Structure 1
Amino acid sequence: MEATTSRAEAGATTPAASPASDAATGPATGLVGRQAAALVGSLLVAVIAFQLGASMVTPALPAMADTLGVGADDVAAVSSYFFLAGAVAGVVLSRWSDYVGRRRVMLLTLAIMLTGTLVCLLAPSLPLLLAGRVMQGTSSALFQLSYIILSERLAARAFGTALGVVTAINGGVGGVDGYLGGLLTDRFGYRSVFLVILLVGAVALVCVVRVVPRTLRPADAGSMDWWGAAALSITLVCLTLAVDAGPSRGWAAPGTLGLVAGAVAGAACFWAVERRRASPLFPLQHLRSREVWPLVLTTLLTLSGVFAVINFTVVMLSQDETVGFGMSASVSALAFLAPPALIGLFAAPLSGWLAGRRGWVVVLRWGLALCLALLVVVALVPTDPWVVLAMIACLGVTYNGLFLTTANGLGVLQSPSDAPGALPGLNSSAFGIGAGLGIGMVAPFVAQGTLGGYTTALWISVAITGLALLVSLLLVARPAAATGGEAGGRA
């Protein structure tokens, strides 16, 4: 398989590079200095707009439940629907950008996010709030679009570090977002959180308009496979809702079985449609490759395991006054959301640098093994706030740094050359589906409000993360792609 990716947006002046030197990590010559810094800065603001919607809302979940008069298992949908929408939007919008350009799709995504944020701000009920969160969730595609833009615009030597800088935001904005979300919730109510997101999103829109370059020519000369996108979207939605409904409503319940049937039917339609398309949403022959499917499955499982612990189980436990730590929303965010996010700001760029030298697949496995060890400790002593705090902080290095950086980097590095937006989008879908599935699977146990319920939720996350590590052992790095031609992939 050819190791290079499309350079559709790199510009006509970019010289051709060999697969060994240009292995999907950017052109041999590209933006440097102030131009590169401006591009990275603008993309940072855009992904921050998404990340605020992902992590700033977390400490406000208990307040939403109280204000809207719903239970903890119901309010979990505020997060799970957000990431479900991101899963669908990531794979569709990233691939669409191959045809109409990264900048245009990024602007549309920001516009949808801003509209959804306004709906959340004004929503008087949970159903309307969830509708707004679905619209907000589409902004998950901003990360994948940013990674592709970096690979196409920056010089190869700058790609790993720049990707790490952007990925660092994926774990939270240095912890400030979680703390600020809790502080605003305690003092002004949860709606103030959405007001801040709205303002940052508006700034991001201006930055993208002014700095992100226009597409010179499409990366794919075909046409967008909307039928395939629709079939895959139905599959993802039905699958996520089925897993979400199974533990609480019963796996044999008619509604759950109907969702499972919908997912199977959607997958069958997707396969049938893709086989007949000249420009498929994702070339099926690549799905069978060990360069692709183990990465997607590893990402999905890791998000299901680790994300649910950091952003749901521990947050709910820390604010539980009966069996938990009895913290306020702001103190909970400062103690458990801020440390891993702040540490990740420094760990992610270093992880990108390290992966470029030691191998992206190898560093991915290191991160997963360390994540698993940390989660085991949390599950063994969930009642000790200091131990839990220390382990969650260490996840800033292993999860926010090592894993997120390499998983996102490999999504670009291993993407098929004939569809550069396909694997980043599919990997984005795995991020969103995994986050939503993880919360949905543990929410019924967390909602019990007992020590046994929290402990069960934590061990479920441990088991899922262990499975992710096993799957990662099947991942094969594309020759000369994982490090820009320095170490192959050392897989």
Structure 2
Amino acid sequence: MPLNFRERTRPAPPAVPRLLLPSLVLAVLGYQINATMLSPALPDIARRLDTSSSLVGLSQTLFFLLAAVGQVTLARLSDYRGRKPVMLLCGVLLIIGNLACALAPDISVYLAGRILQGVSAAMFSLSFLTLNDLLPPAAFGRAAGIISAVNGGFAGVDAIVGGRLADTVGFRAIFLGGLVLSVVGTLAVARYVPAVPPKAAGSMDWLGAGLLALGLSGVLIGLAQGAGWGWTSPATLGCVVGGLAALVAFVLVQRSRSAGSNSVSGTGAGTDSRTPAADNATTVRPRTTAVIDIRLLASRRAWPLLLTVTLTLAGAFGALALTIPLFTQDAHAGYGLSATRSALLYATPASAIGVIGAPLAGYFGPRVGWRRTALVGSAGSLLAFAVAVPFRSEPWVLFAALAVLGLTYNGISITALNGLAVVSAPKDQQGALTGLTGACFGVGASLGTALASGLITSAGTDGATGAAAYTGAFVAALALLALAMVTALAVRPVPADEEAGRTERAPAAHV
């Protein structure tokens, strides 16, 4: 659909309603419980749908894969069509996905539902962008902290509740609860989220978006399935090599799309190359603009940020989601705990403390700078894990280190990196950089779990016994967090005046 360039000269956004933030919280919660509550119910899904655990595992891979793809494409689409219409699209996809999974007669319908749910992950990026469009910096920081806290679920309790529902009612109850939340959240968005004019001129680059989606899909599937397929198998190599080839093609296409743009500065629309004649024309055919300007991607505002996100998730998420649960439940190498005790002692506290850290990061981000806040999170995570690795044989030392990691990683880093992505991009490319940052969370998580799984498996194959079987995975996580600290230092600071006054915003007294 052609975009009327004159829409970009509309007055400042409307006044912020009281229920803006609660509406966005409900909208993202509708998605999030499908990510955090379902893990304990996976065996129940396999049993009730009479399918294999590998297909159930594939559903998880597809869910997080499409989450990465959805964040890139739909966040960028919102630059052209507006945030609210794309948020409503995400809500509808989530409702249909919940219905499909709750009523699924077999695994094929269930897989389709999980794919639709995954695409709706763009609701997180769209929420950050909407808050940035409507709120002044301090209010945006506080609200972004709350949204980031929701990103961790219900402080770790949701996983326990999910397991209880699976044991008593069955997995369908989880999706029915998600359905209720998604319907209420979508209606709240329709009623209480103001419609803000599009930020970018031109039209969506669907070729570039398709190449990016294909590239991310290939790389993520290869990383997620490599341990099962074999890292040198044709399937794994085909996915990874094919994905990398698609990403190279994406860069070439974006370079050609970016060639005609004027600027990537944060003070103007870098893709608007209109002439006076075009302004006077009744209808202007919009030019296809890059999904993300290559010059921005190559700048120190973008590539160090994307690397920091990827490396942070690879180190911290890989350890929290795989290495530490396996280690603490291993009777020969670790503590020999049950799955429930392991989760209560070494997973739930980190999630719960993250709910405290996220609002703190949102408070300090606009005041001391999002980059400085991100550096605090990276440094704290590195120090916490530097203590955990040599003293992992001491249960209470590991517990304390993971509690600190919950504050610095689950709380501060996640919030600060999301906030930094929003303020670092030019106004007409905020969806591009924010969506790509969201995708890097998925890439990093897949990389971290795949690397940890491969190192633990390899150590066992080579004859390592006891705690030595986990040494490589622990050290790799520490090295990844150290690299994340280096790349975080390389991020170019956003000038204070630009970070504080990027767009005209309405008063935010009610938020």
TM-score, length of structure 1 as denominator length: 0.84
Give the secondary structure class of the aligned counterpart of 1:420. helix
Among 372, 393, 396, the alignment partner of 2:382 is: 372
Give the secondary structure class of the aligned counterpart of 2:477. helix
Query: 2:83 aligns to what?
Result: 102
Asked if residue 210 in structure 1 is aligned to residue 191 in structure 2, the reply is yes
1:42-441 matched pairs, under 5 angstroms:
42-61=23-42, 70=52, 76-123=57-104, 129-215=110-196, 217-277=197-257, 278-317=288-327, 331-382=341-392, 384-441=394-451
Shift in alpha-carbon separation, 1:66–1:389, aligned structure 2, 3 A: farther
Q: Is the 8 A contact 1:305 1:438 kept in 2?
A: yes
Q: Is the 8 A contact 2:358 2:415 kept in 1?
A: yes
* 1:436, distance to aligned residue in structure 2 (A): 2.4
Amino acid of the structure 1 residue aligned with 2:144: L
Among 461, 465, 475, the alignment partner of 2:491 is: 475
Give the secondary structure class of the aligned counterpart of 2:427. coil
* 1:324, distance to aligned residue in structure 2 (A): 5.7
Give the whole-Å Cα distance in 2 for the aligned partners of 1:464 and 1:188.
Answer: 41
* 1:385, distance to aligned residue in structure 2 (A): 4.2
Shift in alpha-carbon separation, 1:159–1:393, aligned structure 2, 3 A: same
Q: Is the 8 A contact 1:87 1:428 kept in 2?
A: yes
Give the whole-Å Cα distance in 1 for the aligned partners of 2:434 and 2:12.
Answer: 25
* 1:328-380 Cα distance to aligned partner (Å, 9 max, x none): 65554443333223222222111122222222212212211221232344444
* 1:10, distance to aligned residue in structure 2 (A): 11
* 1:27-76 Cα distance to aligned partner (Å, 9 max, x none): xxx856xx2x41111111111122212222233346556776756x8765
Give the whole-Å Cα distance in 1 for the aligned partners of 2:74 and 2:250.
Answer: 17
Give the whole-Å Cα distance in 1 for the aligned partners of 2:139 and 2:328.
Answer: 40
Query: 1:465 aligns to what?
Result: 481
Give the whole-Å Cα distance in 2 for the aligned partners of 1:117 and 1:362.
Answer: 39
Amino acid of the structure 2 residue aligned with 1:271: V
Unaligned runs of 5+ in 2: 1-6, 258-287, 503-511
Unaligned runs of 5+ in 1: 1-7, 15-29, 487-491
Give the whole-Å Cα distance in 2 for the aligned partners of 1:287 and 1:481.
Answer: 22
Decide which moves more: 450-459 or 290-299.
Answer: 450-459
Query: 1:12 aligns to what?
Result: 11
Shift in alpha-carbon separation, 1:465–1:191, aligned structure 2, 3 A: farther
* 1:124, distance to aligned residue in structure 2 (A): 6.1
Give the whole-Å Cα distance in 1 for the aligned partners of 2:342 and 2:180.
Answer: 25
* 1:421-469 Cα distance to aligned partner (Å, 9 max, x none): 1111111111122222322333355677975554443333222222212
Shift in alpha-carbon separation, 1:439–1:194, aligned structure 2, 3 A: farther
Of structures 1 and 2, the larger Rg is shown by 2
* 1:251, distance to aligned residue in structure 2 (A): 3.6
* 1:291-328 Cα distance to aligned partner (Å, 9 max, x none): 11110111011112212222343345555677665656
Query: 2:271 aligns to what?
Result: none
Decide which moves more: 324-333 or 306-315.
Answer: 324-333
Shift in alpha-carbon separation, 1:245–1:311, aligned structure 2, 3 A: closer
Shift in alpha-carbon separation, 1:288–1:303, aligned structure 2, 3 A: same
Q: Is the 8 A contact 2:141 2:366 kept in 1?
A: yes
Give the secondary structure class of the aligned counterpart of 1:421. helix
Give the whole-Å Cα distance in 1 for the aligned partners of 2:109 and 2:476.
Answer: 31
Give the whole-Å Cα distance in 2 for the aligned partners of 1:226 and 1:481.
Answer: 34
Shift in alpha-carbon separation, 1:446–1:469, aligned structure 2, 3 A: same
Give the whole-Å Cα distance in 1 for the aligned partners of 2:76 and 2:93.
Answer: 18
Give the whole-Å Cα distance in 2 for the aligned partners of 1:45 and 1:446.
Answer: 39
Give the whole-Å Cα distance in 2 for the aligned partners of 1:434 and 1:256.
Answer: 18
Q: Is the 8 A contact 1:51 1:173 kept in 2?
A: no
Give the whole-Å Cα distance in 1 for the aligned partners of 2:395 and 2:45.
Answer: 25
Shift in alpha-carbon separation, 1:204–1:358, aligned structure 2, 3 A: same
Amino acid of the structure 2 residue aligned with 1:220: A
Q: Is the 8 A contact 2:346 2:402 kept in 1?
A: yes
Give the whole-Å Cα distance in 2 for the aligned partners of 1:440 and 1:130.
Answer: 22
Amino acid of the structure 2 residue aligned with 1:179: I
Decide which moves more: 367-376 or 42-51.
Answer: 367-376
RMSD between aligned residues: 3.1
* 1:256-308 Cα distance to aligned partner (Å, 9 max, x none): 22223312321232123223334111111111100111101110111122122
* 1:130, distance to aligned residue in structure 2 (A): 4.2
Q: Is the 8 A contact 1:378 1:388 kept in 2?
A: yes
Shift in alpha-carbon separation, 1:323–1:295, aligned structure 2, 3 A: same
Q: Is the 8 A contact 1:304 1:434 kept in 2?
A: yes
Seq. identity, %? 39
* 1:173, distance to aligned residue in structure 2 (A): 2.2
Query: 2:266 aligns to what?
Result: none
Decide which moves more: 457-466 or 297-306.
Answer: 457-466
* 1:127, distance to aligned residue in structure 2 (A): 6.0
Give the whole-Å Cα distance in 2 for the aligned partners of 1:75 and 1:302.
Answer: 27
